[in-house]
């Protein structure tokens, strides 16, 4: 029998800090403390070679339960749909109109942070409603 492994979710992006800070707001995550000897992440970043400055950023669940999110700068832009995406569980246990109201409220909050609203998938008799979204760099996710 194998044990459960810890994991992180990695995002390729153009502006790692911007995308990380967006996801901090979405999920209630925080930026971890900078490495020992540095007052803040900006100071740490300035200590790196110029080509590595701004190349990565991370955020963590302050409770330690959720996975670490890591954001790394890549030269190419996003050109196709994500093969993996996050489902942000804001409507768990809610049904029909009550669920739609919660999804809508969260969608409006995230749009104010720079997210883009996508297709609303309505209750179909089997699956409850969910709202497709895109983050500040166009990565798909769902409000579920």
**Domain residue spans in the chain?**
8-73, 86-143
pTM for the model: 0.88
pLDDT at 109: 96
pLDDT at 132: 95
Query: What contacts 24+ positions apart, CB below 8 Å, involve 45-52?
Result: none
**Average pLDDT taken over every residue of the chain:** 92
- End-to-end CA separation in angstroms for the chain: 32
d(CA 50, CA 46): 8
**Is a pLDDT exceeding 80 seen at residue 2?**
no
61-103: pLDDT as tens digits: 999 999 999 999 998 888 888 878 899 999 988 889 999 999 9
139 confidence band (pLDDT: 50, 70, 90): very high
pLDDT at 142: 93
> Is residue 85 within 8 Å of residue 142, measured between CB atoms?
yes
**Is a pLDDT exceeding 90 seen at residue 56?**
yes
**Phi/psi of residue 109, each to 5°?**
-60, -45
């Amino acid at each position: 029998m194998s044990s459960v492994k810890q994991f992180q979710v990695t995002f390729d992006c153009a502006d790692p800090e911007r995308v990380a800070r967006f996801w901090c707001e979405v999920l209630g995550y925080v930026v971890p403390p900078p490495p020992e000897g540095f007052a803040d992440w900006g100071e740490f970043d300035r200590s790196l070679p110029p080509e590595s400055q701004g190349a990565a950023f991370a955020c963590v669940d302050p409770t330690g339960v959720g996975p670490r999110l890591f954001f790394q700068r890549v030269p190419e832009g996003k050109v196709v749909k994500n093969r993996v995406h996050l489902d942000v569980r804001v409507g768990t246990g809610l049904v029909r109109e009550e669920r739609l109201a919660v999804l809508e409220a969260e969608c409006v909050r995230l749009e104010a942070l720079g997210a883009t609203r996508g297709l609303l998938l309505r209750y179909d008799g089997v699956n409850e409603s969910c709202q497709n979204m895109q983050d500040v760099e166009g990565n798909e996710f769902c409000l579920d």
